[in-house]
Amino acid sequence: MKFNKAIVAMILAIVMIMGLASAAMAEDALKIGVIGPFTGAAAIYGSACKFGAQVAAEQINAQGGLQIELLNEDDEHDPEKSINAFNNVLDNGAQMIAGTTTTSPCIAVGAEAYEERVFMLTPSASSPDVTANKDNVYQVCFTDPAQGTASAQYIKEHNLATKIAIIYNNADAYSTGIYQTFIEEAAAIGLEVVPEAVTTFTDETTDFSVQVSAAKDAGADLVFLPIYYTPASMILQTAKTMDYAPVFFGVDGMDGILTMEGFDASLAEGVFMLTPFSADAEDEATKAFVARYQEITGEIPNQFAADAYDAVYALYTASVNAGIDGSTSYQDACEKLIEQFQTLEITGLTGTMTWDSTGAVSKTPTAVVIENGQYVGFND
């Protein structure tokens, strides 16, 4: 019995020392709230953000200097729960938010954060509504419509097409928004979009033969698909039946096509996808990130993980530049960070980023291409 007591006493002592140590550390550390769906239907996005942010924090803390403490809260992709999570992290001393992961919670939390004056940098909520009319909410990812502009620039820069066809969903704001910015940018930079080959469908469409025929008959060598992967898979199938093999170029909605049950990956061979991050890039930062991420989760990081990693680095760099430390109040931090983000330029895993005063990011578009059922970086 005595022996047991001794052990208990020792354990208690250790715990207390550790508690003191972490308390001492936490006092100086910069506290960043990370909010996203770690459970539920959208859990793959939220968990990716959580672990991506964790890798960034580990790297920063290993360098010494200003330390980071991440405060994770689950919102289950529910706006109401997300607001609770936001209040929780504030109560626990968060000075800024790297989040939230998904769009509708982010719009809800953004409104609260605007009232409370807490700086928010979302890794991945991509709707323009996330930042609209809020001077303290910023994005790491492109907004949905900005993907159209970025795609056009990428196609022009890499000479992927002479004649372009577009098939988009005119019953969907995401798809129509990207389509509109794409044709505007295409006209501005001199890409030829064939008017007869611009066709539409709706969520109820089962037959895509007319749309694919129009592209084929117009002689288009690239078909731009600003749509989700389910209709895209039907379009690829139809094109194959018609022996039509142009370059297909999709945006982030295309992500997931390879995970469809029963999907024949050979249909997607050579499909381009606009994405800020490819896990097989050869630079040191990406390699280190991918290696550590795989160690933690056993999975290859997706773009959400990379966006969250960049979000933490951007917040950290801006905080250091502005002289924010663990003792700055969130209101002060907010005003200082807003000022910093007007001039901040940071190179992360998803490119070199700058921000405008609306909170939208600007960075070089990059794309991956599908080869043998894998995403690989495209080099021409």
Partner 1 sequence: MVSFLRFLINGISLGSVYAIIALGYTMVYGIAKMLNFAHGDVIMVGAYIAFCAISYLSLPPVLAVLCAMAVCTALGVIIEGLAYRPLRQSASLAVLITAIGVSYFLQNTALLIWSSNPKIFPSAFSFGTIKLFDGNLVISSETILTIIANIVIMIALTLFTGRTKMGKAMRAVSEDKGAAELMGINVNRTISLTFAIGSALAAIAGVLLCSAYPTLQPTTGSMPGIKAFTAAVFGGIGSIPGAMIGGLLLGVIEILGKAYISTELGDALVFAVLIVVLLFKPAGLLGKPVREKV
User: In this chain, which of 88, 180, 213, 362 binds partner 1, going by CB under 8 A?
Assistant: 213
Binding mask 295-324 for partner 1 (x = CB under 8 A): ------------------------------
Return the range that interacts with partner 1 (CB under 8 A); candidates 25-33, 112-120, 126-134, 204-212. Answer: 204-212
Q: Which stretch binds partner 1 (CB under 8 A): 17-25, 195-203, 277-285, 340-348?
A: 195-203
Closest CA to 303 of 34, 41, 45, 14: 45
Of the candidates 65, 227, 45, 206, the one whose C-alpha atom is nearest the C-alpha of residue 141 is 45
In the complex, least distance from residue 207 CB atom to partner 1, rounded to whole angstroms? 5
**Count of residues interacting with partner 1 (CB under 8 A):** 28
Closest distance between partner 1 and the C-beta of residue 267, in Å? 9
Looking at 214, 258, 296, 320, which residue binds partner 1 (CB under 8 A)? 214
| Region 154-173 residues binding partner 1, contact defined as CB under 8 A | 170
Binding mask 323-352 for partner 1 (x = CB under 8 A): ------------------------------
Q: How far is the CB of 264 from partner 1 (least distance, A)?
A: 7
* Contact criterion met (CB below 8 Å) for 309 and 349: yes
d(CA 98, CA 34): 5
Length of the chain equals: 380
Q: Residue 239 or residue 318: which is nearer to partner 1 going by CB? A: 239
Q: What single DSSP character describes residue 61?
A: H
Least separation in angstroms between CB 20 and partner 1: 48
Among 209, 327, 342, 343, binds partner 1 (CB under 8 A): 209
Residue 52: which residues within 8 A CB-CB, separation 6 or more? 123, 289, 293, 301, 304, 305, 306, 307, 308, 309, 312
Residue whose structure tokens are 């959580």: 50
Smallest separation (angstroms) from partner 1 to the CB of 204 = 4
Contact 226, 175 (CB under 8 A): yes
Which of 27, 28, 80, 207 binds partner 1 (CB under 8 A)? It is 207
Is 65 among the residues that bind partner 1 (CB under 8 A)? no
Secondary structure element (H or E) that encloses residue 97, with its range: strand 96-99
Three-class SS state of 166: strand
- In the list 133, 202, 331, 343, the residue contacting partner 1 (rule: CB under 8 A) is 202
- Residue 159 vs 259, nearer CB to partner 1: 259
Site for partner 1 in 91-150 (CB under 8 A): none
- Whole-angstrom CA distances from 321 to 53, 63, 151, 207 are 20, 16, 33, 55
Min dist. Cβ of residue 262 to partner 1 (A):
4
Cβ-contact 336, 124 below 8 angstroms = no
Distances, alpha carbon 184 to alpha carbons 6, 70, 218, 249, in Å: 75, 41, 20, 17
Pick out residues in 1-60 that bind partner 1 (CB under 8 A).
none
- Residue 162: which H helix or E strand, with range? none
Q: Which is nearer to partner 1, 135 or 221 (CB)?
A: 221
Among 124, 143, 199, 286, the residue binding partner 1 under the rule CB under 8 A is 199
Q: Which residues contact 149 (CB under 8 A, 6 or more apart)?
A: 181, 182, 184, 185
Where residue 201 falls (left for φ over 0; alpha for ψ -120 to 50; beta otherwise) is beta
Q: How far is the CB of 313 from partner 1 (least distance, A)?
A: 33
CA distance 219 to 68: 55
Between residue 228 and residue 267, which ones bind partner 1 under the rule CB under 8 A?
Answer: 230-231, 233-234, 237, 241-243, 259-264
Least Å from the CB of residue 197 to partner 1: 11
**Of the candidates 43, 93, 49, which has an alpha carbon nearest to the alpha carbon of residue 326?**
93
Q: Which residues bind partner 1 (CB under 8 A)?
A: 170, 199-202, 204, 206-207, 209-211, 213-214, 217, 230-231, 233-234, 237, 241-243, 259-264
